[in-house]
Amino acid sequence: MDKRTLGNGFEVSALSLGAMGYGKSREIDDRADMIRLLREAVDLGVDFFDTAEVYGPWTNEEMVGEAFAGMRDRVKIATKFGWDIDQVTGEHRGDVNSRPEQIRSAIEGSLKRLRTDHIDLYYQHRVDPRVPMEDVAGVVKDLIVEGKVLHFGLSEAGAGSIRKAHAVQPVTALQSEYSLWTREPEAEILPVLEELGIGLVPFSPLGKGFLTGKIDAGTQFAANDLRSRIPRFTEDARDANQALIDLIRRIGDRHGATPAQVALAWLLAQKPWIVPLFGTRRRERLEENLGAISVGLTTDDLTEIEAAAIQIEGARYPEDVMKRSGL
The amino acid at 167: A
| Sign of the CA dihedral running 9, 142, 156, 118 | positive
DSSP state of 156: S
Total count of residues recorded for the chain: 327
Confirm whether 123 is a catalytic residue.
no
Count CB-CB contacts under 10 A for residue 70: 8
DSSP state of 311: P
Of the candidates 302, 177, 316, 298, the residue with the CA atom closest to the CA atom of residue 247: 302
Q: Are 162 and 293 in contact (CB under 8 A)?
A: no
End-to-end alpha-carbon separation of the chain, Å? 34
User: CB neighbours of 229 closer than 8 A, spacing ≥ 6?
Assistant: 318, 321
The catalytic position among 55, 122, 123, 178 is: 55
**Which residues are annotated as catalytic?**
55
